[in-house]
Amino acid sequence: MEERSFALKDPKENVNAFRLDGKAAIITGAGSGIGLAIARKFASNGAFVHLLDINLEAAESAAQQILSESGQARAYGCDVTRREAVKVVFEEIFGQDRIHILVNNAGIAHVGNLEKTTEEEFDRIFRVNVKGVYQCMFAAIEHMKGNGEGVILNMASIAAWSGLADRFAYSMSKGAVVAMTYSVARDYVQHGVRCNSISPARVHTPFVDRYLQQNYPGREKEMFAKLSQTQPIGRMAHPDEVASLALFLCSDDAAFITGTDYAIDGGFLNLHG
């Protein structure tokens, strides 16, 4: 067999590393938090971003922000738990664009152990965090197969890997996301489709602020500091830091990466204790 030599790239070739010029991405849950940060990061690096959110007003606001930053974006209202709603929106997008990237970011949180998790709450978490990811991958995979390429990035959590207190249903859902990621990566690698996931620890988003206001009125600063110290690095992640990892994994510079979950956790999983 003829041997191939792999020369090191000239550092000058990396000036535009992680660019997404000429690519189009669908991002769910893009109206706020991590989803918005990913959308802005992708758009600022050349991608046309299609922003999906159950709150159309939030998606439109996000799109306007990206347009004001000289990016390209379009907003859609979409409930990812509903097969027909997902199908309609994705088909509309496919009629406009060849989609290279799907980021499944839409999700909801839940606090409670087994005994404090009602069947209704369990079903709701499953519908959004698990079935929602399934619905969007199902809607996109034929399109990506037909193109002979594609990148799927799913948002998981360290809850998939660590026994977090009072996160029974949420941990279940994120464990399922990681398992689906591995399965899709295996089944579609021969079609040129890569599939990875990101598992963040706590990220400072508006959700965290609302959670503290609702559950610890008057003690927000104290509890914020306590939650921040859960990460050995001593703080929560910023949404933009998660977005930077997402940008790399969805870029051509990560072309050799598939079937992997990436923790972005300030040392939580490996440095605890």
In a domain, 157, yes or no: yes
In a domain, 270, yes or no: no
Distance CA 7, CA 237 (A): 36
For residues 184 and 249, membership in a common domain is answered with: yes
pLDDT tens by residue, 13-72: 555 679 999 999 999 999 999 999 999 999 999 999 999 999 999 999 999 999 999 999
pLDDT tens by residue, 209-243: 988 998 899 999 999 999 999 999 999 999 999 99
pLDDT of 199 strictly over 60: yes
For residues 181 and 118, membership in a common domain is answered with: yes
In a domain, 6, yes or no: no
- The CATH number linked to 103 is 3.40.50.720
pLDDT at 128: 98
Please state the domain count of the chain.
Answer: 2
Residues tagged active-site: 170
For residues 118 and 253, membership in a common domain is answered with: yes
Mean pLDDT of the chain: 94
In this prediction the pTM is 0.93
For residues 230 and 126, membership in a common domain is answered with: no
pLDDT at 9: 60
Q: Which residue has the higher pLDDT, 273 or 164?
A: 164
- Which of the residue ranges 80-89, 105-114, 206-215, 228-237 would you say has the lowest mean pLDDT? 206-215
In a domain, 71, yes or no: yes
pLDDT at 7: 56
In a domain, 108, yes or no: yes
Domain containing 217 equals 203-236
Q: How confident is the model at residue 86 (pLDDT cuts 50, 70, 90)?
A: very high
Which residues have CB under 8 Å from 91's CB, separation 6+? none
Q: How confident is the model at residue 2 (pLDDT cuts 50, 70, 90)?
A: very low
For residues 31 and 160, membership in a common domain is answered with: yes
pLDDT above 70 covers a percentage of the chain that reads 93
For residues 254 and 231, membership in a common domain is answered with: no
Nearest to residue 24, comparing CAs of 4, 50, 2, 1?
50
Q: Own/partner pairs for 18-21, CB < 8 Å, 24+ apart?
A: 18/45, 18/247, 18/248, 18/251, 18/253, 19/45, 19/46, 19/251, 20/45, 20/46, 20/47, 20/100, 20/101, 20/247, 20/250, 20/251, 21/45, 21/46, 21/47
Mean pLDDT of 178-201: 98
Distance CA 238, CA 204 (A): 6
